[in-house]
Chains A and B, each alone.
Chain A
Amino acid sequence: MSASLKRGLQAFDEVIDASVASFFSSCVHCGLCADACLFYTETGDPRYTPIYKLKPLQRYWNQHYTLGGKIASYLGLTTAVDDAELAEWQELIYNSCTLCGRCSMVCPVGNDLTAMIRKIREGMAAAGYAPEDLIAAAGRAVKIGSPMGVRLPALKAQAAHVEKDSGLEIPFDREGAEYMLLLSSMEIMNYPEYLEAVARIMKQAGKSWTLSSEAFEATNTGIQIGVSDIARTLVKRVVDAAEKLRVKTVISPECGHAYTAIRWDGPNLIGRPYPFEVLHILEVLEQFRLQGVLQLEGSESQRLTFHDPCQLVRRGGVIDPPRNLLRMVADNFVEMGDHGKMNWCCGAGGGVGANESAAELKMQAFQRKKRQISELGVDAVVTACANCRIQLEEGLEENEMDLPVLGLTELLAEHLPQREKGERG
């Protein structure tokens, strides 16, 4: 057995716990998860049935942890999990799953299939079967601090631009600030308007906030690729920075898995609770709305819809805030079919977007979202995840649909009273 396969199987041993045992024991093979998965519905390929993607882990568990399975292996009735099998499953586990969590919602016996995919990725990554692009991204995240290779000077340059355009200060390393803002590399490079929007909203609300020069990146490649050790290193950076600056709240940006990583997985990874609160930017804005410190004027007359980021609605339960916020500025807001907790994924989450070998498949998966959007006849789509936004933009362009995709925070900032915008520090 190769050293890498041995590492992979050892990782399987580590992730098999009571929940995995009960999930595999209770599966009734009904196949309902197939219809919940957009990779199955959009391709019709039965190999994309979520429970099937878990086959190697299920066989390993059966052979090593059940009496019948042990006897069967002893008698030579089953074959061991080997490199060939893992190689074959790489595509199923990484390319055709966005960890969107929809299958977990429909399982009639309550199996959290998504959590099991997350677990099987631990073994796959340790055995060397993670996609190359994700390995490279993880390398950049650990060594440089950003999966896209964005360094502090690049952020500082963007911040300087924003300061010049808006006349507002972008604070770095301010000790004792109430909020610490995290960003995703995509926001720094592709959507710098987000930073300006937050700065202006904070100014109006009269809240103190800061960026950290030691931990500004919110994304966590360790979660996507399935290596808890890397995920822990990345979470620890944020926790250390937040503790050093003694902030009350850390704000996760418009990015789905970053929120899951820092909000839900983080404390389990580092093995202790945080001394600060973690909120998604939309949760913060909703609090501002309720406190009456988010005052907006004017409204959008165009027909808008909202694409729910999966991690926000299904893992985080953040369903009402974006709607409450949108209604402040949108006269003509329409809901998409299956919106809220049963929304359909854009097709690029969970590392799929960063994985070049999944490029074709993710566009096929996008067909679902395309149909959903076109039947609404909207003028624009609003979302709150930079990753969804890129996929939506690429997908709409490829399908020749001329439709702008807007970030919710930026849309709100556009409706701040004008005088605030003109202010110069």
Chain B
Amino acid sequence: MGLDTIPIRSEVMSPPFEQQGIVALLQEISQLLRQLALSDENGVIDLRRSPLSPAQREALLTLLGQGEVSAELTVMGRSRVEETALAGVWWVTHYNEEGVVVAELLEIAPIPQILLSVEDELGESQDRLQQMIDGIINGGSVK
């Protein structure tokens, strides 16, 4: 006898097949947003590890929409950071120097990690500014 001959009662409402992956991802985003609100802990979803077909990926992009902020970084190749229509949900794509995607993430955070300036760098900036000021005072010209 085949298993298909035994009637199966579905006890939960489930979305159509093609959309199940997307719904799971949206649930995960929602969970991470809740975590961010509760504990200030940033969340990251690795999109390359989620088996999305190109069509599903497009559908997800459309669903999440376009927010107000976008940023482009030039660091070992290009990186793009785009806010989605959902505040706190960022679509981050890292390319290598040849333009091939090396990482694609959804970051759930007030602002994505890669955009932040860190303390060490602030100190370095101060040192360099001081050098500029000294240079102007001593040499008298701005270069």
Contacts and interface: CB of A to CB of B under 8 A. Distances in A.
Please indicate whether A and B come from the same complex rather than being unrelated chains. yes
Contacts of B6: 17-18, 21
B1 A22 contact: no
A167 to B, nearest CB: 31
B8 A18 contact: yes
A291 B38 contact: yes
Contact size range, A: 10 to 19
Interface in B1-52: 1, 3, 6-9, 11, 38-39
A287 B38 CA distance: 8
A268 B3 contact: no
A18 B3 contact: yes
A229 to B, nearest CB: 17
Interface string B50-81: 00000000000000000000000000000000
Contacts of B38: 287, 290-291
A268 B8 contact: no
A67 interface: yes
A259 to B, nearest CB: 19
Contacts of B7: 18
Contact size range, B: under 10
Contacts of A66: 1
Contact of A22 (B3, B9, B11, B39): B3
A274 interface: no
Give chain A's interface secondary structure class: helix
A290 B39 contact: yes
A22 B5 CA distance: 12
A80 to B, nearest CB: 20
Interface in A6-53: 17-18, 21-22, 25
A65 B7 CA distance: 13
Contacts of A22: 3
Interface string A50-68: 0000000000000001110
Contacts of B9: 17
Interface string A272-298: 000000000000000100110000000
Contacts of A17: 6, 8-9
Contact of B1 (A67, A268, A287, A291): A67
A25 B6 CA distance: 13
Contacts of A287: 38
Nearest to B11: A268
Nearest to B6: A18
Nearest to A271: B11
B74 to A, nearest CB: 38
A345 B51 CA distance: 37
A29 to B, nearest CB: 20
A22 B4 CA distance: 11
Interface core residue of B1, B9, B11, B39 (most chain A CB under 10 Å)? B1
A290 B39 CA distance: 6
A66 B6 CA distance: 12
Given A17-B8, A18-B8, A268-B11, A65 B1 contact: yes
Nearest to A68: B1
Contacts of A67: 1
A291 B3 CA distance: 48
B66 to A, nearest CB: 32
Contacts of A21: 1, 3, 6
Contacts of B39: 290
Contacts of A65: 1
A18 B11 CA distance: 13
Nearest to B9: A17
A287 B37 CA distance: 12
Contacts of A290: 38-39
A17 B38 CA distance: 42
A57 B55 CA distance: 46
16 contacts: A17-B6, A17-B8, A17-B9, A18-B6, A18-B7, A18-B8, A21-B1, A22-B3, A65-B1, A66-B1, A67-B1, A268-B11, A287-B38, A290-B38, A290-B39, A291-B38
Nearest first, the 3 closest Cβ-Cβ pairs linking A and B are: A18-B6, A290-B38, A18-B8
